[in-house]
Amino acid sequence: MSNQMNAVFVGSSNMDMIFHVKDLPAVGQTILSESFYTNFGGKGANQAVACAKLGGNSGKVECAFVGRVGNDLYGEQMTQNMKNLNSIDISQMKKIEQTNSGMAVISVDQNGQNQIILFQGANAMIGKNDIDLALNLFDKSNFIVCQLEIPIYLVTLFNPAPAFSFDILMKEINFNDVTIIVPNEIEAEILTGIKFDLNNIKDVHRSLLSQGPIVSIITLGQLGASLCIDKRKIDKLIKNQQYDEESDQIIIHCQAPQLASVIDTSGAGDCFIGALDIQILQKCVEQSIMCASMSVQRLGTQSSFPSADDIHQC
């Protein structure tokens, strides 16, 4: 196992209830759904599945998931789904008695854009003692990945999502413990207090890095992602770097591929994070964008994530 990378994902596992509609409803509006289905979701589970699909079955990376589900049918189904992958350690995926599993109601319009309502359920029950019990997983890990759908107690790679959790959880986070921070545009704006615009992305990156991380990656949807490295904090720099001498930053914009169609953007950000643990920095971001771009051309969240074979065929 010495040549393996090990990634532990601490996060949520939800049952997604997905409605496809022509247009997203306005306030007070009742509309008809064109189709409905359920899918496995939750940011932590999504990212673990994306990572496992890309590297777990090949032996390239060993994935583990730490999370909580309720004592209900959805909890049983989510646990069995993880077991079926055969490449994720779920020894710390525990069932909470007398508690419902996390759920998400997702509306997806004809352009693939979505609105999401979350119910945390058992996800909110994970605590510091649970993290302590899982330390044997963390000790051998190259990456520990967390989000904001659960309480934060230990962070290495930090995905500050969903944005609604910021006011509650930001005060609990020591950003000096974060190596890589990966917000989207809205999350970056909230974290920095800077109105986000592509023209001032340098300032947004500077503000993110000033809080402690070494690397910031801002996902930009159909525009790809922007990678920034604080070159004062690393010894080995990546190729094709562009120096910002004033702030000691290296900034690289990785373009997303042009897609003929976008079917469903649900889980694309989680797919990106899961892929992020397989490669290193620039190559990693490019591969992660490709994975997320493939996922939005398929229905669902975890079911839409590409495998390593899918990537190799591109």
Residues at the annotated binding site for substrate?
14-16, 42-46, 149, 270
- Where is the binding site, in residues? 14-16, 42-46, 149, 184, 219-224, 264, 266, 269-270, 295, 298, 300, 304
What the block records as the tokens of 211 is 């809080």
Beta carbons of 133 and 92 less than 8 angstroms apart: yes
Task: Say which of 270, 277, 309, 310 is annotated catalytic.
Answer: 270
Backbone angles phi, psi at 81, to 5 degrees: -60, -45
Comparing C-alpha atoms, which of 154, 164, 180 is closest to residue 288? 180
CA distance 226 to 255: 9
Beta carbons of 63 and 89 less than 8 angstroms apart: yes
E strand map for 184-248: 215-219, 225-230, 243-244
- Where is the binding site for K(+), in residues? 264, 266, 295, 298, 300, 304
The residue behind tokens 């509609």 is 21
Please state, in angstroms and as integers, the Cα–Cα distance from residue 133 to each residue in 36, 44, 144, 187, 312, following that order: 38, 18, 15, 31, 37
| Residue 38, strand partner residues | 17
CA distance 289 to 41: 19
Whether 203 is catalytic is no
Helix (H, G, I), strand (E, B), or coil: what is residue 6?
Answer: strand
E strand map for the chain: 5-10, 14-20, 35-41, 61-70, 88-96, 102-108, 114-119, 143-146, 157-158, 180-181, 215-219, 225-230, 243-244, 249-254
- Where is the binding site for ATP, in residues? 184, 219-224, 269-270
Sheet containing 14-20: give its strands across: 35-41, 14-20, 102-108, 114-119
What the block records as the tokens of 242 is 């562009």
Q: Which residues are catalytic?
A: 270
